[in-house]
Amino acid sequence: MADKFFVAHAPHMRKNESIAGIMWRVNLALIPSGLVALFIFGPSALWVVLSSVLAAAGTEALIQKARGQKVTVCDGSAFMTGLLLAYNLPAHCPLWVAAVGSIFAIAIAKQAFGGLGRNIFNPALAGRAFLMAAWPKYMTTFTKPFVYDAVTQATPLSLIKEGKASGVVDLGLSYWDLLIGNRGGALGEVCILALLLGGVYLLYKGIISWHTPVSYVATVAVFMWAFGSPDGFGRGDALFQVLSGGLVLGAFFMATDYVTSPVTKKGQVIFGVCCGLLTGVIRRWGGYPEGVCYSILIMNAAAPLIDRFVQKRRYGASR
The residue among 315 and 75 whose pLDDT is bigger is: 75
Domain segments of the chain: what residues? 21-139
Please provide the average confidence, as pLDDT, over all residues in the chain. Answer: 87
- Coil, strand or helix: which one is 139? helix
State the DSSP code for 263.
Answer: S
Report the percentage of the chain scoring pLDDT > 90: 62
State the DSSP code for 313.
Answer: P
Stated as kind and residue range, the H or E segment containing 142 is none
Q: What is the mean pLDDT of residues 139-167?
A: 66
Among 3-7, 61-65, 97-101, 237-241, the range scoring the smallest mean pLDDT is 3-7
Which pLDDT does position 151 carry in this prediction? 46
DSSP string computed for 16-85: S--HHHHHHHHHHHHHHHHHHHHHHH-HHHHHHHHHHHHHHHHHHHHHHHHTTPPP-GGGSHHHHHHHHH
pLDDT (tens digit per residue) in 61-111: 999 999 999 999 999 999 999 999 999 999 989 999 999 999 999 999 999
